[in-house]
Structure 1
């Protein structure tokens, strides 16, 4: 029997297949998740209306579908074994009244991403009675389609690249290949383990989880429909943590089946031979390097004058040089104009540069132009909640309060800084203020981690920012090519760069590109946070042989003495 697409979110006419949860010969039962569909009205998970064995899967990730299209075929039977029973069941289902309940909570959190779930667990640990509502999956974008799954991909890709170059380590390996289906499976297992862990923490800390769409009726009332239960939550405080969604840009042909979002590409079942990435920011460049490590021919089209345009110029120059050396083609100051499907099922991306049109052919196109706040079904205007200056996100003060004193907002929905660890810290700040602790959110010392190859990490001021502030600075820089541990790892590219106040020696900022950069950055972050001076780090003994010695050497490089090993 055929299972068809009955409807999409809102009144959308078509949608794009996201994750597919079933494969041929799977045993499924009625109610099991089949696949996800994304449309311009939102995301929807399609469930099976039959039980049996999957005989065929008619769609795959990236396909565009419309109402009544066949999704899968099943050898089995409908939930009620005859069409007559099914009709009666559906009719009765329409008449059945949902179970209604009303509960009281101290805090209701909407969204269970790295901001929301941290807020809920922390508040519960502090003795508050907490409910959390999530319409998709616990863990949000970060855990399910962002930070964690991409790093699983990055690790697999890096290991594959190392195996291709294993002779450099005095080892031999033959018939090296990448099985992207197994890579995806490993990623899924990691995600499942972590999401299960969060739900365990909810249970262990008496956080009540509702899976469904939340509707904020007023500042003290939240309504949620989950399965056949309608719950009205009378709440003293509300934390909005609805996250962000993929930004779309008006490019002709963007609906091509070859165009994937950063979410969809994590569930591909075949490595593309050629990949064009529209957008050379953090997400785009991470995917550029990981797919390059898998052996994919990668091209990046970036609208700005540089990739990763908001970081230290030296770092940008270094990573651009490394990318080109690895064979990644980069076109900056370029605007994607159109995506055209060719006769051989590839796509042609046209882009303008220096007032001329250029064309790139690839079998897949990744749209990676950033993310924007996801307000979901929250009617800010009705509730009287103010938006921020650019009207994209929710306006909050340093306490993470909106203009309505008992409603707080955290994470990407505030459009402040789109980083998971920022959302998590905002969560702590919001909860502590709800619990009558006077705490302010500070944004001066936030480390950023970029998982290119090599890694990049930054914190505090970069050289350009320091000069714009009129600060007298000293700079120390030390290359990993002079670090013993880096050489043993076979990762000698990159450097550590330290910026300090010239007169006082206080550490102001740091940038690292090289092995373990995303781990090393926290020594510099701690120094900035605690206003440590160069002498404080110089008098701290760093273990040998470690990549951390490069931080010590970069501090020495900022002094008249200079680095010892360079």
Structure 2
């Protein structure tokens, strides 16, 4: 006889486990099914452990530049095994935390491979048995995996995905990073700061192509200054792995193909949704290039089947998945939640320098037909940034000249991934330039640049 629940969630990443907790809070009897580790890719192999690695490289950068702060640090070094071990311990600690949250919220956890067998029915294949579950509603939160190069599969030795890049057994001497999205730039930043000779290959005309063009241009100069070689508008024709490294055939902007040798390569060219072999086809759940089609509440075209997170398409972000999970659960429980507004989802890249944004880029706003007022304020004009020794970067705001609506905000520089939330809240509250101008910002803080950028859009900058 099948175990019966009000809700079954397939996948325990930041979408799945958050949805489970909220469902429990709303009085639903909840089961969650996970084939690997609670917390999903983000917690175990993505967002969190990569930030642990990047924190290490940040500190190492400061150690090697201690003299800039009047300090001495002779012959700084590192132990790669200890760096990896710290990152894995951070992930392990949070994995244990999710287990505790499931227990606290009375969520029943089934470890195994889940498959939807019919509407309202799901089976879990475990090592020694198969468990049958039933629920009126099922949320698919199975996430995504790294996309392989069709002509060069990752081998974990010389050709890496993000998973391999997080647990290296040796430090690359000469590293090729294929793709310049957030994942590619973050790993390039980490390995460059740890001493590797890094090259980024990007087929599009600029790095971080989803960001505002001025941000991309700034990052191009910043990373080049740090010693990273950037090859934009170029294509990877061939990648061959050997005992001593990899050979890459790269087609340049002029069409010429040249061969380059590297010790290792990281493939960061996007993701593939985990929607195969979980029972969606038999139920007739609509997909688009593998991603499940949903409305603003997470509902699919099949009654009782919902989907959240990376399986539903861009942006592929943990916080988007979590918010989608809460919206879906509140709808399932009979509430009236707001629909997901992807225009208010912030994006963050935790490289050095950091990048953060929300809303439209200047170019997208112009394409949409807006008349704009644009403000920009540099880090060099901020006292706290200068005191920190982090005087490179800027804050940019884009407003509708007619209504004062904040259409977008774009930042590059130290700690901007923390600052961006101020603009996210402003957009959620539909704040105009008037309220932002009248807001008091603490001094001395980096956040003062947010104020100055708004003032700058209307010709009222104070400190420049």
Instruction: With the length of structure 2 as denominator, give the TM-score of the two structures.
Output: 0.97
1:495 aligns to what? Answer: 394
1:361 aligns to what? Answer: 261
Alpha-carbon offset, residue 493 of structure 1: 0.7
Matches within 5 A, 1:382-397: 382-388=282-288, 391-397=289-295
Deviations 1:425-456 (A, max 9, x none): 00011101111123322212111111111110
What SS is found at the alignment partner of 1:323? helix
Q: Does 2:31 correspond to 1:127?
A: no
- Among residues 28, 32, 46, which one is paired with 1:146 in the alignment? 46
CA–CA distance in 1 between the matches of 2:155 and 2:406?
48
1:235 aligns to what? Answer: 135
Q: Tell me if structure 2 keeps the 8 A contact 1:256–1:341.
A: no
Give me the CA root mean square deviation.
1.4
- Among residues 558, 561, 564, which one is paired with 2:457 in the alignment? 558
Instruction: Sort the Cα spacing of 1:290 and 1:257 in 2 relative to 1 into closer, same or farther, 3 A.
Output: closer
CA–CA distance in 1 between the matches of 2:346 and 2:293?
23
Q: Tell me if structure 1 keeps the 8 A contact 2:275–2:290.
A: no
Deviations 1:222-265 (A, max 9, x none): 11133434311121110000000111122257658410111111
Q: Does 2:385 correspond to 1:460?
A: no
What SS is found at the alignment partner of 2:233? coil
Instruction: Sort the Cα spacing of 1:253 and 1:125 in 2 relative to 1 into closer, same or farther, 3 A.
Output: closer
Q: Tell me if structure 2 keeps the 8 A contact 1:251–1:336.
A: no
Runs of 4+ in 1 over 4 A off after TM superposition: 252-256
1:321 aligns to what? Answer: 221
Matches within 5 A, 1:201-220: 201-220=101-120
- Among residues 14, 22, 45, which one is paired with 1:114 in the alignment? 14
Q: Tell me if structure 2 keeps the 8 A contact 1:253–1:340.
A: no
- Among residues 407, 414, 434, which one is paired with 2:305 in the alignment? 407
CA–CA distance in 2 between the matches of 1:186 and 1:500?
43
Alpha-carbon offset, residue 401 of structure 1: 0.8
Gaps of 5+ in 2: none
2:416 aligns to what? Answer: 517
Instruction: Sort the Cα spacing of 1:528 and 1:256 in 2 relative to 1 into closer, same or farther, 3 A.
Output: closer
Deviations 1:107-138 (A, max 9, x none): 00000001111111110111100000000111
CA–CA distance in 2 between the matches of 1:506 and 1:245?
37
Larger radius of gyration: 1
1:269 aligns to what? Answer: 169
Q: Tell me if structure 2 keeps the 8 A contact 1:252–1:337.
A: no
Matches within 5 A, 1:3-152: 102-152=2-52
Alpha-carbon offset, residue 280 of structure 1: 1.2
Matches within 5 A, 1:158-557: 158-252=58-152, 255=155, 257-341=157-241, 345-353=244-252, 354-388=254-288, 391-439=289-337, 440-557=339-456
What SS is found at the alignment partner of 1:475? strand
Q: Tell me if structure 1 keeps the 8 A contact 2:156–2:164.
A: no
Instruction: Sort the Cα spacing of 1:156 and 1:474 in 2 relative to 1 into closer, same or farther, 3 A.
Output: same
Alpha-carbon offset, residue 483 of structure 1: 0.7
Alpha-carbon offset, residue 489 of structure 1: 1.2
What SS is found at the alignment partner of 2:219? helix
Deviations 1:128-170 (A, max 9, x none): 0000000011111101111001111110001001100000000
Q: Tell me if structure 2 keeps the 8 A contact 1:210–1:224.
A: yes
After superposing the two structures, state which structure 1 stretch, 440-449 or 405-414, moved more. 440-449
Aligned residue-pair number: 462
CA–CA distance in 2 between the matches of 1:189 and 1:126?
33
Instruction: Sort the Cα spacing of 1:183 and 1:135 in 2 relative to 1 into closer, same or farther, 3 A.
Output: same
Task: Tell me which of the two structures has the higher relative contact order, counting C-alpha pairs closer than 8 angstroms and 6 or more residues apart.
Answer: 2
Higher helix share: 2
After superposing the two structures, state which structure 1 stretch, 541-550 or 245-254, moved more. 245-254
Alpha-carbon offset, residue 535 of structure 1: 2.0
What SS is found at the alignment partner of 1:535? helix
Alpha-carbon offset, residue 380 of structure 1: 1.9
What SS is found at the alignment partner of 1:444? helix
What SS is found at the alignment partner of 2:110? strand
CA–CA distance in 2 between the matches of 1:380 and 1:486?
51
What SS is found at the alignment partner of 2:343? coil
1:89 aligns to what? Answer: none
Instruction: With the length of structure 1 as denominator, give the TM-score of the two structures.
Output: 0.80
What SS is found at the alignment partner of 1:304? coil
Q: Tell me if structure 1 keeps the 8 A contact 2:13–2:42.
A: yes
Alpha-carbon offset, residue 482 of structure 1: 1.1
Q: Tell me if structure 2 keeps the 8 A contact 1:352–1:358.
A: yes
What SS is found at the alignment partner of 1:237? strand
